[in-house]
Amino acid sequence: MYILVMGISFIGFYLQVSITDESKGYITEWVNSFQFLLGPLIYISILFFVYPRMAFGRNKWFHFLPFLLISPLELIFLLRYQGDQTISLMAVSYCVSIFQNLPPFQFLIYILFSFRALLRHRKKLMLISSSIEEINLNWLKNFLIVLLFLTAFWFNNLFVESPVLKEIRPFVYTVSIFIVGFYAIKQKTIFQKSGEHTEGISEIIESDPENEPAKLKRLKDVELNELAVRLKVLLEEEKIFLDNELNLAKVASKLSCNVHDTSYLINAVAGDNFYNYINKHRVEEAKKLLLSEKEKELNILGIAFESGFNSKTAFNTSFKKFTGLSPTQFIKSNVVNSNEKK
């Protein structure tokens, strides 16, 4: 739908250039009223990405009120003009001018709302998954940056009117459509079905970020201690963190409890989210491998996979985060320390 509305906007750009008859200019203004849909559509599209159970309810329609109010007005102006009825051209011009200035400001507000939704999405992923690189929607964040850049063209058209920016605007808009289409097709399923835990995972994702379940006291001290011991066995003896697709639902199943209690347990034991807790164990495993004979048999990527990571990028990022060194720097520093001891 967003791409369709963007296409209609292209038609508006064409009409602006091709129509010189003032009496037909109101056709352009009516077509351009569809620009009021761009911001709400990109924002709601992102909400559908980040909330697994989201439905298009009544509370979503208010986002489209500006379009539903302004588009009919533009159409009325158009029909009255075409019908040669008496109308104050100055009043119409004034109203149209105001309407033309509103879409870029509205669009900018929705871009900021969208950034906030993606930031919350990343925080929620870290509560339920140990590997988020392929599902963190970074491509959408980059696309929003592109859209933020495009608003400069929009404001230029209204206030500065640089001819260079006007010339390249259609090309940039076209490229942005291809980018969003390409990455949307490539996007993997963000929230996999988790069997009996699907409902619980959805509740965690949709909860208020300021009031996460882990912050509420869900377990008695006796239950907490018992589960903490079982979790320690899973990590230290069974090394479940070596599963590069490990998630909160899998750990909950092994502990025979629900995902809310598991999230609370991890927060109570580690004072951190699921993502960091599991990746700290992976980094510790990687440190052992890097200092063992396996370091000679495996390259950095091999060490990453052996430790439970599913990509070299994720491995390097987590390793640097928890040790302050890259894997290569870690090896060199330990070689130096060993030589000094000798």
Segment 193-236, tens digit of pLDDT: 556 677 888 888 877 655 544 455 778 889 999 999 999 999 99
Confidence of residue 156 (pLDDT cuts 50, 70, 90): confident
Averaged over 301-306, what is the pLDDT?
92
SS3 content of the chain, % helix, strand, coil (to 5): 80, 0, 20
CB 94 within 8 A of CB 24: no
CB 163 within 8 A of CB 14: no
Q: Are residues 182 and 200 in the same domain?
A: no
User: Which of residues 186, 221, 238 is at a domain's end?
Assistant: 186
| pTM (whole model) above 0.85 | no
Q: Are residues 132 and 23 in the same domain?
A: yes
The number of domains in the chain is 2
Domain carrying residue 316: 195-341
**Of 10 and 154, more confident:** 154
User: How far apart, in whole angstroms, are the C-alpha atoms of residue 338 and residue 331?
Assistant: 11
For residue 27, give the 3-state DSSP assignment: helix
Q: Are residues 33 and 179 in the same domain?
A: yes
Q: Which of 58-72, 129-143, 264-278 has the highest mean pLDDT?
A: 264-278
- Could you count the other beta carbons within 10 Å of the beta carbon of residue 21? 7
User: How far apart, in whole angstroms, are the C-alpha atoms of residue 157 and residue 223?
Assistant: 64
Cα angle for residues 39, 40, 42 (degrees, 5° grid):
70
Q: Are residues 215 and 93 in the same domain?
A: no
Segment 69-116, tens digit of pLDDT: 877 777 776 655 554 444 444 444 445 556 667 888 888 999 999 999
Tokens 């929230």 -> residue: 191
- From first CA to last CA, the distance across the chain in angstroms is 68
Q: Are residues 305 and 223 in the same domain?
A: yes
Backbone torsions φ then ψ of 129, nearest 5 degrees: -135, 150
CATH of the domain at 234: 1.10.10.60
For residue 63, give the 3-state DSSP assignment: helix
User: How far apart, in whole angstroms, are the C-alpha atoms of residue 106 and residue 57?
Assistant: 21
- Could you count the other beta carbons within 10 Å of the beta carbon of residue 270? 15
For residue 129, give the 3-state DSSP assignment: strand
DSSP 61: G
